[in-house]
Amino acid sequence: MDAVSVTTPNKFHKDPTIEALQAGIHVLCEKPLAMNADEARSMCAAARDSGKILQVALQSRFGGSGRFMKEYIDAGNMGDIYFARAQALRRRGVPGWGVFIDKEKQGGGPLIDIGVHILDFTLFLMGYPKPVSASGKTWDMMGKNPELTNLFGDYDRSKFTVEDFAVGFIKFDNGAVVSLESSFMANMSERDIMKTQLFGTKAGASVKISGDDPIEIYTEENKQLFDMVPRNVPHVESQHTAEVVAFVDAILEGKESPVPGLNGLILNAIFDALYKSSETGNEEKVDVSF
């Protein structure tokens, strides 16, 4: 056996991942990497010590909009990206199946289920700066309310133990800041929002993970303001298939992990700080060491 894919509930990511790595097997682990940063640290250390690939299954960056924007940004067209607003919001979209509403097995709600996708997508485009602190707030009133409808089907409201809405403010060591909004159940005009807004010194952009015309770029030339919609965004049939292909290619070609465990650790550490901040009311440090 050369590789395994760990697709268990979040509570059971750590042990099979570490056991596989220690046995000399490459691992593609579902997102989020772990329940918390401490678990993620042990998984990253196992990957480092084994020399095997640990890839976090964060598929959004493999889509057409992610590929286009990464190339556009790396070419210097955006300048320094100093702020981003990342949104993963649903109007009435609680996943009642599986363990998505069970904090003991999942670790959290929309923040680590869908917020993880848009935050990774945003940080990937920004070059994954190192986080230093975060403050946040979570709520759980609507997810527990049996009077509200849910477009994903009904579920037992008495078993809802995660947040239904989370917001965060994250600071990075390069001076950049990201605001994050994630919800299963928000009173808003759209049914589903999955996008990031990037603010750079040369240009800004609104980028959706998928859909028609997913990118708008805002810039200036000769003191004239332009809103641009690129027409050559690559078509990717399946982001999930693309991430698996990248995983297999890295194994066969001896490449670095396409989504290294450190990225997963950074996300888990940010979520830990946001959850803690919601409890304490304070800005909390983010530790990504391992």
pLDDT tens digit sequence for 110-133: 999 999 999 999 999 999 999 999
CATH class for domain 3-59+240-257? alpha beta
Q: Answer for the pair 133, 290: CB distance below 8 angstroms, yes or no.
A: no
Q: Which residues of the chain have pLDDT under 50?
A: none
What is the C-alpha to C-alpha distance for residues 138 and 277, in angstroms, rounded to an integer?
Answer: 9
pLDDT of residue 44: 98
Put simply, whether the predicted model's pTM sits higher than 0.85 gets the answer yes
Looking at residue 46, the DSSP 8-state letter turns out to be H
pLDDT of residue 231: 96
Question: H or E stretch including 178?
Answer: strand 177-183
The helix/strand/coil state of 80 is coil
Give the angle subtended at the CA of 96 by the CAs of 160 and 114, to the nearest 5°: 90
Residue bearing tokens 């759209």: 190
Q: Does domain 60-236+267-285 have CATH number 3.30.465.10?
A: no
What is the C-alpha to C-alpha distance for residues 118 and 121, in angstroms, rounded to an integer?
Answer: 5
Beta strands in 191-283 (DSSP E): 192-200, 203-208, 215-221, 224-228
pLDDT of residue 203: 98
Sheet holding 3-6, edge to edge: 3-6, 26-30, 54-57
b/e per residue, 210-241, with b = 16+ CB within 10 A?
Answer: eeeebbebbbeeeeeeeeeeeeebeebeebee
Task: Indicate where the chain has its CATH 3.40.50.720 domain(s).
Answer: 3-59+240-257
Question: H or E stretch including 165?
Answer: strand 165-172
pLDDT of residue 241: 98
| Helices and strands counted in the chain (H then E) | 8, 12
pLDDT digits (tens, 9 = 90+) for 138-193: 999 999 999 999 999 999 999 999 999 999 999 999 999 999 999 999 999 999 99
pLDDT of residue 214: 97
pLDDT of residue 249: 98
pLDDT of residue 208: 98
CB neighbour list of residue 279: distance below 8 Å, 6 or more residues apart = none
Task: Indicate where the chain has its CATH 3.30.360.10 domain(s).
Answer: 60-236+267-285
Burial class (CB in 10 A: 0-12, 13-18, 19+), 252: exposed
What is the C-alpha to C-alpha distance for residues 290 and 288, in angstroms, rounded to an integer?
Answer: 7
